[in-house]
Chains A and B, each alone.
Chain A
């Protein structure tokens, strides 16, 4: 799982390896992440997600070995 910007700062890391369980979705992996980093819960309402560099929904299945990213509200430009 890749973390960026405000989320990386809150977690104190930019990369987290998480165990994978068959049938995992973005939401189930996020729940596992929040157990380790409860301080990220406040960010959840505005978070977007990406699976292998494509925007994904919370309910989307995550393939084994996928790179999941948490995308806080973007502010490029």
Chain B
């Protein structure tokens, strides 16, 4: 199992190798990449902040849970921090399974859980300003009174 929060570029080949297993019939790879727009605004780049040690701990807990739930052979979950340009990968998930169906489900489940729980934050930088994004799925927003969401 490979779990990492890093300022370095994410290496897809490394993640695939780490997630691989002789018993796997499928390896599913998900990349979250930086989009040039959000909610109608042009985004120039993103700046990611993280609580690295806790983020790795929560990512590991989620990976262990995914392994159990979807009978994964192995998996890799990596999140990048710092300044990311348009098109660069911020999140890399690779999961291996005996068969393909569970690999898609596991990848989807992991992304959703990461967006709820892992202490990582993105700041959008526009031509005329910047703002920290508050994830609509995050536990913090979910606990807030409905009027604040």
Contacts and interface: CB of A to CB of B under 8 A. Distances in A.
A4 interface: yes
B115 interface: yes
Interface in A30-74: 45-48, 50, 53, 55, 69, 71-74
Interface stretch (B13-21, B64-72, B135-143): B135-143
A72 B57 CA distance: 18
Contact of B54 (A8, A46, A47, A69): A69
Given A45-B145, A45-B148, A48-B140, A76 B120 contact: yes
Contact of B114 (A2, A4, A8, A76): A76
B145 A74 contact: no
B9 interface: no
| Interface size grouping (class) on chain A | 20 to 34
Contact of A4 (B119, B135, B141): B119
A72 B140 contact: yes
Most buried by B among A2, A48, A55, A74: A74
A75 to B, nearest CB: 4
Contacts of A74: 115-121, 135, 138-140
Contacts of A71: 51, 119, 140
Contacts of B121: 4-6, 72, 74-76
Contacts of B48: 76
Nearest to B59: A76
Interface string B118-129: 111111000000
B140 A5 contact: no
A46 B57 contact: no
15 contacts: A4-B121, A9-B132, A46-B141, A69-B51, A72-B121, A72-B132, A73-B134, A73-B135, A73-B141, A74-B139, A75-B122, A75-B134, A75-B135, A77-B90, A77-B91
3 nearest A-B residue pairs (beta carbon): A76-B120, A73-B140, A5-B121
